[in-house]
């Protein structure tokens, strides 16, 4: 399914050990709707970006960013550890702050060509934070999978979307 399309991605249960007790979606418990994850990603102020160096050394850092058209955009200095990691290994995880209403994005990051971040991305960032992204190094994260659940009902709400 194209990530930029208007249709919602298909949801299923994540593959977890049976000891987690996650129920089959058919067991009368539903999967979360895509809107649940999409809305939380759009509304968040702070995001955790998790990268790994070429040698596999992990690094986590909070960033500001925008979720727009099923992509995540954030800026960082090219000398930062996360930028150096992404240069060596474009795999990235984006995690919202909450451990109770969880949304996790797995994907690939690429440096947006300079200049040239989309105007709507810069406008969304300006509206959200009062700052421009344009003129700064910006990464675009293309999700491959998104996970979400509500901790209050983890076994009934754990949901995965493959994008």
Domains contained in the chain, CATH given = 28-110+139-155 (2.30.110.10)
d(CA 31, CA 126): 34
Nearest to 132, CA basis, from 109, 115, 107, 113:
115
Q: Taking residues 8-15, report their average pLDDT.
A: 91
d(CA 87, CA 107): 14
Give the model's pLDDT for residue 29.
Answer: 63
Q: Which range, of 16-20, 47-51, 59-63, 145-149, averages the lowest pLDDT?
A: 16-20
CA geometry: angle 65, 136, 143, nearest 5 deg: 40
**Strand-pair category, 71-75 with 11-12:** unpaired
pLDDT(3) > 50: no
Give the model's pLDDT for residue 134.
Answer: 83
151 backbone dihedrals φ, ψ, rounded to 5°: -60, -30
Give the model's pLDDT for residue 1.
Answer: 32
Give the model's pLDDT for residue 27.
Answer: 55
Q: Which range, of 2-16, 54-68, 74-88, 100-114, averages the lowest pLDDT?
A: 2-16
134 HSE (CA, 13 A, CB side): 13
E strands along 6-111, which residues? 11-12, 47-52, 58-63, 65-68, 71-75, 91-96, 101-111
CA geometry: angle 17, 61, 54, nearest 5 deg: 75
Bigger pLDDT: 59 vs 1: 59
Give the model's pLDDT for residue 94.
Answer: 98
């Amino acid at each position: 399914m194209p990530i930029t399309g208007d249709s919602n991605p298909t949801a299923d249960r994540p593959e977890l050990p049976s000891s987690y007790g996650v129920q089959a979606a058919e067991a009368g418990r539903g999967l979360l709707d895509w809107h649940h994850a999409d809305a939380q990603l759009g509304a968040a102020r702070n995001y955790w970006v998790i990268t790994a160096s070429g040698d596999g050394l992990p690094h986590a850092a909070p960033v500001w960013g925008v979720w727009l058209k099923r992509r995540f955009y954030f800026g960082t200095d090219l000398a930062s550890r996360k930028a150096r990691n992404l240069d060596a290994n474009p795999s990235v995880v984006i995690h919202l702050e909450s451990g109770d209403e969880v949304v996790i994005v797995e994907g690939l990051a690429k440096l947006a060509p300079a200049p040239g971040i989309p105007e709507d991305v810069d406008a969304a960032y300006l509206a959200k934070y009062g700052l421009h992204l344009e003129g700064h190094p910006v990464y675009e994260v293309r999700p491959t999978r998104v996970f979400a659940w509500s901790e209050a009902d983890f076994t009934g709400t754990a949901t995965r979307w493959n994008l």
